[in-house]
Structure formats: C-alpha cells, structure tokens
C-alpha cells in the first residue's frame, strides 16, 4: 500500500512539473511580447511565431525528480502573520515574521494565491531547514527601487532549503536608477543542500537566479544545489548565474530573453575572481535556452567539470555554448541551431572538452547570407585537436584549446 501511494505521489508530481513547464513557457513568451527582439531574430522569425513549447518532454523513465530537503513538520501561512497579497501593501515584514516563527526544527511557510509586494532591498530572508512554498498563483513582486543590488528572495549561509512554486518578479521595467547589475529575483549564496523548483523568475534588474559563494573571513561555497523545472525570462543580466559552487544540477528548465547589460547569457557559469576557489561540477540537462542577447551558455575561467547534455540551444545572439579557460567538460546530444555566432566555441586555454552527438543547424547567422568557403564542415572523430583551428559555421576550436570531437551532425 505504501509503495502504491508513493508511486501515485511520484506520478502526480511528474505531471505537475510537466504542466508547469508548459504553462511557464507560455508566460515567458507573453512576457517577451513587450520586449523588442534583436533584429536578426525579428528577421528570421517574424513570419513564424514561436510555439508555446519546443523542448521535447522527457520520457517517464528520464524525468528528473529534484531532492526534497530535511525540515520539520510545522506549516505556517503568511496570511496568519499579516500578509495581504493584494498588490498594494508591502508584505515583506509579514512574510519574514512567518519565516522567523518557524520552530528550531524548521518547516514550511506557505504563500497562498495573491500578489505580494516585497521591499527587495530588505529581501525575504530564508533560514535553514525550511521550504518557501508559493502557490502556483502566488507572485512575489519587487517594489520599485534605485538600488544597484537587491534580492527579492535571499538564501544566505543556510542549509536544507527548498523554494518552489509561483513567480518571483523583479522591477527592471520600473527601476528608479541606472547603475548596477545585481538586482536578482532569487539569490543563493554560501548555502548547502538547496532545491529551487517549479517556478518562474523574471524581470530582474540583474539575474533571475544567482548561485554563488559567501565571502568573509573564509569563503563559503554553495554546494549541492538542484534547479528543476524553472523558467527565467526577461532578466537584464543573466537568466542564471552559477558562481563559485560545487555540484549544481539544472534540469528541465528554460532560460530566455535575457538582455539589457552584458554578458546577457541564458546561463553564465563564471566564478568571481576572488581567492583560489572555483566552480566544480555543473550538470545542465534537458533545458531550453533561447533568444538571449549574449551566449546561450557561457563557461568562463576557473570552471571544472561541466556537462551540457540533451538541451536545445537556439536563437541566441552570441555562441550557443562558449567555453574560455575551462577545464574538463562534455557537450553532448544537444541541438544547437540559429545562434548568431558559432554553435560551440572552445577558446583560449579550454582543455579536456568532448563534443559528441550534437546536431548543429544554421549557426553563425551573424554572417547569414554570406557564402561559406568550407563546403563540407570539418569534423574530427576521436582525435585530440591540438593544432590548426577547426572552424566551421558550427564549431570553433582555437589552436590553444584541446578537445575531442566525436560524431556530430551538421546542416547548413
């Protein structure tokens, strides 16, 4: 009986995650409706509207179930602590009172349907051993501010945390200042065992979601962070930043329409140049990364062991995937299409990368309409590329990078 109940629960959770991705994809596209697409995207797509979902749903056998985190059984409703959820009152203090009222063993803070205005300069500050559970019709919305830096939801040096449901919305369209790039919808810094799932993070002055280290007398990396079934759309700097961390897993998610300040990537894996710590162990799987002003995925210096697998990476204004100074990684079984620069670029001291099983189509659209002088794209099977640039419309490997290129599939 218990096994039957667990199976039914798992099936229901899988269906809910699939339904959320379909709904959130539509929301992301609607959000982008008021945002001017880059000229190349308008030219290539004006007569062909983007469908609601273009990532194939994973089979039942491959659906990723994100980990639950340890916490107590207490359940507190923010309405019982003074939250209005009417889009008029500032609900920051009320939500914080509910979080602070959890017992030492932790528990769940429930946010019912409604629009909750948040003073993002103060933030909703999470504690250890807790689940911030937003109803799917709940929104945490940042009030307008002029700050260079803000976090609507802030997890700082806490452990065993889960954030799920609803939407966290920044204020980039109503920002009162013109400087800074660190206004994030959700910040995870110096934390261990965190799950972020089934939610949308949009319109941040900086990132939708940022994961990194906490600095002080010692550096505390974020470790064991799972991101599943989220949509990050229309954020100004990055959809997702992964800084100094260990073991970050990103599954079944969408990162799109990023732009406003560089780098403008869907996902930027880039540790801050502080001390000797680095980023080690990142998996990005079954994600849809599209229509970003910069690279789809950027892997930038002091980053070890990144795997990008089973993703669709398309219509980005830079590379599909660009690695610079990165060590040991795998780019496999992805579709890389209609990116303005190369589908994959491995440059400047990138070593130990394997590129295999990918489908490349119509990349380097920066030169759309220019005759390609290489009639047959260069492929290297099972060979370490250490000399001579291997440059096509799809794949760029510079002479100081070392990569193994397996069997990929190319179309002009």
Q: What is the pLDDT of residues 177-226, one digit of tens each?
A: 999 999 999 999 999 999 999 999 999 999 999 999 998 778 899 999 99
- Per-residue pLDDT for 259 more than 70? yes
Could you give the CA distance from residue 298 to residue 350 in angstroms, rounded to a whole number? 12
| 3-state SS track over the chain | CHHHHHHHHHHHHHHHHHHHHHHHHHHHHHHHHHCCCCHHHHHHHCCCCCCCCCCCCCCHHHCCCCCCCCCCCEEEEHHHHCCCCEEEEECHHHHHHHHHCCCCCCEEEEECCEEEEECCCCCEECCCCEEEEECCCEEEEECCCCCCEEEEEEEECCEEEEEECCEEECCHHHCCCCCCCEEEEEEEECCEEEEEECCEEECCCCEEEEEECECCCCCECEEEEEEECCEEECCCCEEEEECCEEEEEEECCEEECCCCCCCCEEEEECCCCCCCCCEEEEEEECCEEECCCCCCEEEECCEEEEEEECCEEECCCCCCEEEECCEEEEEECCEEECCCCCCEEEECCCEEEEEECCEEECCCHHHCCCCCCCCCCCCCCCEEECCCCEECCCEEECCCCEEEECCCEEEC
Residue 366: its pLDDT value, please?
A: 72
Residue 325 located in a structural domain: no
Residue 354 located in a structural domain: no
Could you give the CA distance from residue 254 to residue 311 in angstroms, rounded to a whole number? 10
- Per-residue pLDDT for 391 more than 90? no
β-strands 402-405, 383-385 pairing: antiparallel
pTM (2 d.p.): 0.83
Residue 350 located in a structural domain: no
Residue 410: its pLDDT value, please?
A: 79
Q: How many domains does the chain have?
A: 1
User: Is 2 or 402 the better-scoring residue by pLDDT?
Assistant: 402
Residue 229 — pLDDT band, cuts 50, 70, 90? very high
How far is C-alpha 94 from the chain's CA centre? 29
Residue 9: its pLDDT value, please?
A: 44
190: CATH: 2.160.20.10
Q: What is the pLDDT of residues 314-363, one digit of tens each?
A: 999 999 999 999 999 999 999 999 999 999 999 888 999 999 999 998 88
Mean of pLDDT over the chain: 83
Could you give the CA distance from residue 134 to residue 140 in angstroms, rounded to a whole number? 9
Q: What are phi and psi of 369, to 5 degrees?
A: 95, -10
Residue 281 located in a structural domain: yes
Residue 54 located in a structural domain: yes
Q: What is the pLDDT of residues 298-318, one digit of tens each?
A: 999 999 999 999 999 999 999
Nearest to 289 by CA among 245, 257, 326: 257
Residue 179: its pLDDT value, please?
A: 94
Residue 337 located in a structural domain: no
Nearest to 308 by CA among 280, 337, 278, 329: 329
Look at 100-104, 295-299, 357-361 and tell me which has the smallest mean pLDDT. 357-361
- Per-residue pLDDT for 368 more than 70? no
Could you give the CA distance from residue 43 to residue 54 in angstroms, rounded to a whole number? 20
- Per-residue pLDDT for 45 more than 50? no
**Mean pLDDT, residues 137-143:** 98
Residue 201 located in a structural domain: yes
> Which residues span the domain enclosing 246?
2-317
Q: What is the pLDDT of residues 65-93, one digit of tens each?
A: 999 999 999 999 999 999 999 999 999 99
User: Is 281 or 372 the better-scoring residue by pLDDT?
Assistant: 281
Residue 405 located in a structural domain: no
Residue 215: its pLDDT value, please?
A: 85
Within a 13 Å sphere around the CA of 29, how many CA atoms are in the beta-carbon half?
12
- Per-residue pLDDT for 371 more than 70? no
């Amino acid at each position: 009986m218990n096994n039957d109940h667990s199976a039914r629960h798992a099936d229901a959770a899988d269906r809910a995650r699939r339904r959320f991705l379909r709904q959130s994809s539509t929301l992301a596209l609607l959000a982008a409706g008021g945002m001017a697409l880059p000229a190349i995207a308008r030219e290539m797509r004006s007569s062909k509207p983007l469908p609601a979902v273009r990532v194939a749903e994973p089979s039942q056998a491959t659906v990723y179930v994100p980990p639950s985190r340890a916490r107590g059984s207490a359940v507190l409703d923010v309405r019982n602590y003074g939250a209005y959820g009417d889009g008029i009152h500032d609900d920051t203090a009320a939500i914080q009172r509910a979080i602070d009222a959890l017992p030492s063993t932790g528990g769940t803070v429930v946010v019912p349907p409604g629009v909750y205005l948040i003073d993002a300069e103060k933030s909703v500050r999470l504690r250890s051993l807790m689940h911030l559970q937003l109803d799917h019709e709940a929104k945490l919305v940042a009030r307008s501010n002029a700050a260079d830096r803000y976090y609507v939801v802030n997890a700082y040096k806490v452990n065993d945390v889960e954030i799920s449901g609803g939407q966290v919305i920044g204020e980039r369209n109503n920002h009162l200042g013109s400087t800074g790039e660190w206004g994030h919808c959700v910040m995870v810094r110096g934390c261990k065992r965190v799950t972020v799932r089934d939610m949308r993070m949009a319109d941040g002055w900086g990132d939708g979601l940022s994961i990194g280290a906490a600095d002080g007398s010692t550096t505390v990396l974020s470790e064991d962070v799972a991101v599943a079934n989220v949509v990050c759309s229309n954020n100004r700097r990055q959809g997702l930043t992964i800084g100094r961390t260990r073991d970050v897993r990103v599954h079944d998610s969408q990162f799109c329409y990023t732009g406003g300040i560089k780098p403008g990537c869907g996902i930027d894996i880039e540790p801050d140049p502080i001390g000797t710590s680095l980023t080690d162990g990142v998996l990005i799987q079954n994600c849809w990364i599209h229509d970003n002003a910069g690279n789809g995925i950027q892997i930038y210096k002091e980053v070890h062991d990144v795997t990008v697998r089973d993703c669709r990476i398309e219509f980005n204004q830079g590379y599909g995937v660009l690695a610079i100074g990165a060590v040991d990684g795998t780019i496999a079984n992805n579709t890389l299409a209609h990116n303005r620069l190369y589908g994959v670029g491995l440059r400047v001291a990138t070593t130990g990368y394997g590129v295999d099983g990918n489908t490349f189509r119509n990349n380097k659209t920066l030169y759309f309409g220019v005759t390609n002088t290489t009639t047959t794209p260069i492929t290297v099977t099972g060979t370490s590329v250490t000399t001579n640039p291997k440059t096509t419309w799809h794949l760029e490997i510079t002479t100081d990078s070392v990569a193994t290129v397996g069997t990929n599939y190319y179309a002009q």
